[in-house]
A and B are shown apart, each in its own frame.
Chain A
Amino acid sequence: MDRMRAKFAILVAFSMATPAFADRLSFRNDVLPVLGKAGCSNGSCHAKSGGQNGFQLSVFAYDPAADYRNIVRGARGRRIFPAAPEESLLLLKATQSIDHEGGKRFDKDSEFYRMIHKWISQGAPWNSEKEISLMRIEVSPSSGQYKRKGETSLKVTAHYSDKSKRDVTHLSEYQSNDQALAEVDHHGHVTMGNQFGEGVVIVRYMDKVEVARVAIPTETLLPESAYAKLTVNNEIDRKVYDRHKQLGLLVSDLASDSEFIRRASLDTLGKLPEPERVRKFLASKHPKKREYLIDELLDDRDWADHWATSFGDLVRPNTLRVGVKGVYLMDRWLRRKLRDNAPYDQIVREILTATGSTHMHGPTVLMRDKRVPADAGAFTSRIFLGVRLECAQCHHHPSEKWGQEDYYQLAAFFGSMKRKGQGISTPISGEPEYWYWQAGGTVKHPVSGEVMKPKPPDGPFIDVPKDQDPRAALVDWMVDPENPFFARALVNRLWGKFFGVGIVEPVDDFRASNPPTNEPLLDWLAKDFKKHKYDLKRTMRVIMNSRIYQTSSVANKTNVGDERNYARSIRRRLGAEAMSDAVTRVTGMPDTLEGLAKGTRAMMTWNTKMRSVFLDTFGRPDSSAECPCERDPSPTIIQSLHLMNSDKLEARIVSGSGRAVNLAKSERKPEEIADEIYLSAYSRFPTADEKKIVLAAYDAKDASREKVTQDLIWALINTPEFVLNH
């Protein structure tokens, strides 16, 4: 008590001596922003979990009360010293007047120093006389058009509950989403790069996030006539060309029939087209043959298996965590749903409202995996809404509006799920678990302890009747035609599969600071998807019939530097399963897959823990990771070495029952053999030059028909034309 009085006395004396310090500062509105901007509450410094050297702050100041406690009362009060503010540990450390691992954060002669000094000298108040709340921030210019190498300075204004405003430009943090397009410095000064395009600068002040859009329009727009003769197959083409016109891009040539059938087959079925199918397609003169082929592919029985692999990446948990049987049942269930072409909303509803035994009903295994309500909520959001809320589990999302409330309100939909049974008992979780809904059970906010009412992100609070599973209410909200996320997330995911890059990329990261490259296109696709009752095949059909999908991967002058506007087809490596099955097609010999019947195709596998050098080499999702949903698509040298030198692959090429030996034994002429191999590997006939080279190899002195055929297969497998979907 005495100490308090002493502090107060000094404070009074001090402020009387220097009238300029009369306004009482607010910890929340004045001090925390300084600590944020100075980097003290950086996620890798004092705001990391456990703090740094015993001093902990919350990330993005999401917990001001704790921060206040730690500064004012922590370390036995040594951090601040109102009697002699300059002797406060907080200032000594930050100015590196004494040893500080984090280095000097600001100078003694700086606004930041004076601010903290003043606050300490006032006795480190929590509140100002009239404490106000930060309502929003405003960035200007919020959008602008610039020239290459152009510059602009952003201004950030904070708006408070009492309608007052404050310039917080010097206290905000800035980040450009594309450094090559625009760079932004510590002070909000933006410098454009040397290329054209659009980007955003993300601005954060405390827990508020805004974006400033920058556009550098091309200096060489093409005349309208350049677009006049382009084929328009459907609305997709119109929407994409509209963007091209704004950006000065021109779509590349139409892909050849061979390129088209190979790409279409890989994208819809995950397999190379059969040589017979290719021959027939190439020979056809029908003007609608591409349209017919698309119908044919979408009706192929492999369609369900390919997309089960694709969706399976998202919903098949780690077998070593939840048990092999449950994952197997989930996989079977998913394949059946797809085989029936079940509408997407129905598939998702069945997954998210699953109940019962994990040894009877596939989808329940997901409940077993995401057994904590918060995990189930975050999973639902990321996978089905395209919104990554995970950050908000512990702190406010760094570049979005999502806070902890959003995270735990969503979790609340899963709060009354109950279970019986073995639980998680790795490595096998051999016994079943039973999941059911029963009223009761709540989710609490981890900081405030408040019981959370179920509310989806950006949605309304939902009053769920006491006798109803809240998960059903969540799904009702998701599949409502007005829902802003659900359909967009899915069509974007599909677009990513067919074009190698999403309209929003990463495909599950929708946020204001990561805008779609073509908003009208995304809107239209989502609307069309909803209009057609969430029919997956319908959306695929529309995409594939567009002229844009059928574009060559060879760049022209206008689009060589562009990978986000679909003016050329983006080349991408075949996924692990498709690659494995492609090699099988060309060599005629399947890979042996552990524990599966001989001849099983890789697209039928469902357990990423199954050992396979080949599949590991070409990248499977890592189901040991928190979100196994991603596959790394980059080519690696390990892959090249494997295709070049693998003894196992060599054995498949030279096998006595393989394609090479069979072709060599047959009556076929060398050029017929070449045709067959080219059709199966590249979906095209060899060119005249290529034919000459191949025939020369067969005609060489001492050439063995068998060996040349094997060598030809090896050679084609080892080219980018084989490894890439182009």
Chain B
Amino acid sequence: MSILKRNCAGMARRDFLQVGLASIGGLTMTDIVRLKAEKAKAAGKSAKDIRCILVWLDGGPTHYETFDPKPDAPDGIRGEYGTIKTSVPGVHFSEYLPKLAKSFNRYTVIRSIAHRQNNHGAGNHYMMTGRPTPVPVGCGAFVTFHPSIGSVVAWDRGIKDGMPSYVSLERMSRSGGPNFLGAQYAPFVISESPNSKSFRVRDVSIPESIVGARAENRRELRKSLDNLQRINDRVANDPAVTMDEFYQQGYQLVYSEKAQTAFDISKEPEKTREKYGKNNFGQRLLLARRMTEVGVPFVTVYNGGWDDHSDLFKNLKKRDLPELDQGMAALMTDLAERGTLDNTLVVCLGEFGRTPKINKNGGRDHWSFAMSVMMGGAGIPGGQIVGATDVKGYYANENVYAPEDFAASIYTKLGIDHAQVLHTPAGRPVQLIDKGRLIKELFV
């Protein structure tokens, strides 16, 4: 069933979700004219070609020890790390991000995203979907009340040539699911690490042991033994016919040289692999780049362990920061050098920042009133700082943006109308992003 849907602004789009009673006000002539104009405008744009790599630093990375150091804050807040100059005069990052500091000309850092969801469950949901949870949820909760950005992108772009449209590396983030959009827009999770020698992207290539003549034999055998009678009339909705289409797409995928090369990270020159860092995170970023290059529209790279309630200064410099620094800097530089930064949106964040006061265990606790978010590519200016926190880093106090604004900006970059109204299978109208304002500094 294909139906027209309208949002508050009178814009419309076609899709395949069920319509609800609340939306049945018919389309007026003006709406239709406007719809046509919108369509033409959209067709001219290339936003629908832009892919996204979302790097999720689960647990809530500290803003102090990453992109928003406060060297002038008093003891007990300032922290143990020093700062380092970036490629932009006057801007300093934490001393453990030297490579990111050097490549700052490739991306923007927003220092002023803030919200009020101070626990992991709720914070994850807010940042990952652009909607707060409608009810309070527990800290350790994994909740879903709204589709994640990745699922919406998968739904919007659809599946092409058998390629998964939303990939999540290592695991799905807590609120990274499709909610009412349905299981087909759930992330395709690849938990094995591309840093391991035996790594293969699961399920998208023929197992090595049978590749070649044997795979051909199997294909032939299957074809000749597949005898369940099909009900080919479309109105019959025969799932066997749907499966036929999937197998056709599946074969397209496993025999597509382009796709198969992309999945095979061992094809990457060793030098590049080393640039990203020969660790799980670095190689996942590289794999994400390779997948987006062949048309996977959305890849999440999950990177856990940022919930440093204790021994923060000892822990972060050991592994988390150096790996983040090396990997993200390599990704930004690599994309720029390959000429694909313009059609790849890179976003790196967690669910919130961390408390100004260092606690008795040498850690920082949850703090949603300020967080730093890195965004680059897709036309986002390089070397730009958006917003600021106060001198001690307590509160975002300049150009403050909400998670809704963050999500609306991502959707706009990807050519998706963030104000559109979707309908749950029960017919309830749900605005994709409620009251989202664009982060204007990303659209200059």
Known contacts A43-B429, A424-B138, A640 near B247 by CB under 8 Å: yes
Cβ–Cβ contact B1 & A179, under 8 A:
yes
Cβ–Cβ contact A102 & B9, under 8 A:
yes
Cα A555 to Cα B435 in complex, Å, equals 50
Cβ–Cβ contact A693 & B140, under 8 A:
no
Cα A50 to Cα B402 in complex, Å, equals 16
Closest Cβ of chain A to B437, distance in Å, is 12
Closest to B233 in A: A560
Closest to B143 in A: A624
- List the one stretch of A18-26, A124-132, A485-493, A628-636 in contact with chain B: A628-636
Cα A619 to Cα B434 in complex, Å, equals 30
B278 interface contact, C-beta 8 A: no
B40 interface contact, C-beta 8 A: no
Contact among B25, B225, B246 with A719 in the assembled complex (CB-CB below 8 Å): B225
Closest Cβ of chain B to A575, distance in Å, is 12
B145 interface contact, C-beta 8 A: yes
B444 interface contact, C-beta 8 A: no
- List the one stretch of A277-285, A337-345, A404-412, A709-717 in contact with chain B: A709-717
- Note all chain B residues with C-beta closer than 8 A to A225: none
B339 interface contact, C-beta 8 A: no
Cβ–Cβ contact B243 & A640, under 8 A:
yes
Cα A707 to Cα B214 in complex, Å, equals 9
Closest to A650 in B: B207
Cβ–Cβ contact A560 & B225, under 8 A:
no
- Note all chain B residues with C-beta closer than 8 A to A646: 202-203, 207
- Note all chain B residues with C-beta closer than 8 A to A175: 19-21, 24
- Note all chain A residues with C-beta closer than 8 A to B26: 185-186
A159 interface contact, C-beta 8 A: no
Most B C-beta atoms less than 10 A away, residue of A202, A609, A640, A711: A640
- Note all chain A residues with C-beta closer than 8 A to B137: 426
Chain A 627-653 interface residues, beta-carbon cutoff 8 Å to B = 632, 634-642, 644-647, 650
Most A C-beta atoms less than 10 A away, residue of B9, B184, B204: B184
Closest Cβ of chain B to A175, distance in Å, is 5
B217 interface contact, C-beta 8 A: yes
Known contacts A555-B236, A571-B238, A634-B182, A624 near B144 by CB under 8 Å: yes
Contact among A38, A43, A654, A687 with B227 in the assembled complex (CB-CB below 8 Å): A687
Cβ–Cβ contact B431 & A638, under 8 A:
no
Cβ–Cβ contact B250 & A715, under 8 A:
no
Closest to A559 in B: B236
Chain B 219-250 interface residues, beta-carbon cutoff 8 Å to A = 221-222, 224-229, 231, 233, 235-240, 242-244, 246-247, 249-250
Chain A 691-726 interface residues, beta-carbon cutoff 8 Å to B = 693-694, 697, 707, 711-712, 714-716, 718-721, 723-724, 726
Closest to A637 in B: B246
Cβ–Cβ contact B429 & A44, under 8 A:
yes
Cβ–Cβ contact A650 & B209, under 8 A:
yes
A300 interface contact, C-beta 8 A: no
- Note all chain A residues with C-beta closer than 8 A to B191: 613
B23 interface contact, C-beta 8 A: yes
- Note all chain A residues with C-beta closer than 8 A to B242: 634-635
Cα A320 to Cα B144 in complex, Å, equals 13
Cα A631 to Cα B226 in complex, Å, equals 27
B179 interface contact, C-beta 8 A: yes
Cβ–Cβ contact B210 & A650, under 8 A:
yes
B253 interface contact, C-beta 8 A: yes
A465 interface contact, C-beta 8 A: no
Cβ–Cβ contact A44 & B206, under 8 A:
no
Closest to A626 in B: B145
Known contacts A428-B140, A644-B203, A44 near B228 by CB under 8 Å: no
Cα A700 to Cα B66 in complex, Å, equals 64
- Note all chain A residues with C-beta closer than 8 A to B10: 102-103
Contact among A179, A321, A645 with B205 in the assembled complex (CB-CB below 8 Å): A645
Interface size on B, residues (CB 8 A): 87
A563 interface contact, C-beta 8 A: yes
Cα A321 to Cα B143 in complex, Å, equals 10
Known contacts A179-B1, A635-B239, A645-B207, A102 near B246 by CB under 8 Å: no
Closest Cβ of chain A to B34, distance in Å, is 8
Cβ–Cβ contact A716 & B429, under 8 A:
no
- Note all chain B residues with C-beta closer than 8 A to A506: 425
Closest Cβ of chain A to B425, distance in Å, is 8
Cβ–Cβ contact B21 & A204, under 8 A:
yes
Closest Cβ of chain B to A210, distance in Å, is 13
Contact with A along B13-49 (1 / 0, CB 8 A): 0000001111111100011000000000000000000
Contact among B214, B236, B246 with A561 in the assembled complex (CB-CB below 8 Å): B236
Cβ–Cβ contact A638 & B203, under 8 A:
yes
Known contacts A39-B25, A202-B21, A635 near B121 by CB under 8 Å: no
Closest Cβ of chain A to B234, distance in Å, is 9
A42 interface contact, C-beta 8 A: yes
Cβ–Cβ contact B22 & A43, under 8 A:
yes
Cβ–Cβ contact B204 & A44, under 8 A:
no
Cβ–Cβ contact A624 & B177, under 8 A:
yes
- Note all chain A residues with C-beta closer than 8 A to B246: 635-637, 639-641
Cβ–Cβ contact B222 & A715, under 8 A:
yes
Cα A708 to Cα B358 in complex, Å, equals 65
Cβ–Cβ contact A48 & B434, under 8 A:
yes
Cβ–Cβ contact A641 & B217, under 8 A:
no
A358 interface contact, C-beta 8 A: no
Cβ–Cβ contact A174 & B177, under 8 A:
no
Cβ–Cβ contact A719 & B144, under 8 A:
no
Cα A616 to Cα B190 in complex, Å, equals 12
Cα A227 to Cα B231 in complex, Å, equals 24
Cβ–Cβ contact B218 & A560, under 8 A:
no
Cβ–Cβ contact B25 & A173, under 8 A:
yes
Chain B 157-215 interface residues, beta-carbon cutoff 8 Å to A = 159, 162, 164, 174-175, 177, 179, 182-184, 186, 188-189, 191, 200, 202-207, 209-210, 214
User: 6 closest Cβ contacts across the A-B interface?
Assistant: A427-B140, A426-B138, A186-B26, A632-B183, A720-B240, A103-B10
Q: List 16 A-B contacts (CB under 8 A).
A: A175-B21, A320-B142, A398-B427, A426-B139, A613-B191, A616-B186, A624-B175, A625-B179, A635-B243, A637-B249, A640-B246, A644-B250, A715-B221, A719-B226, A721-B227, A721-B228
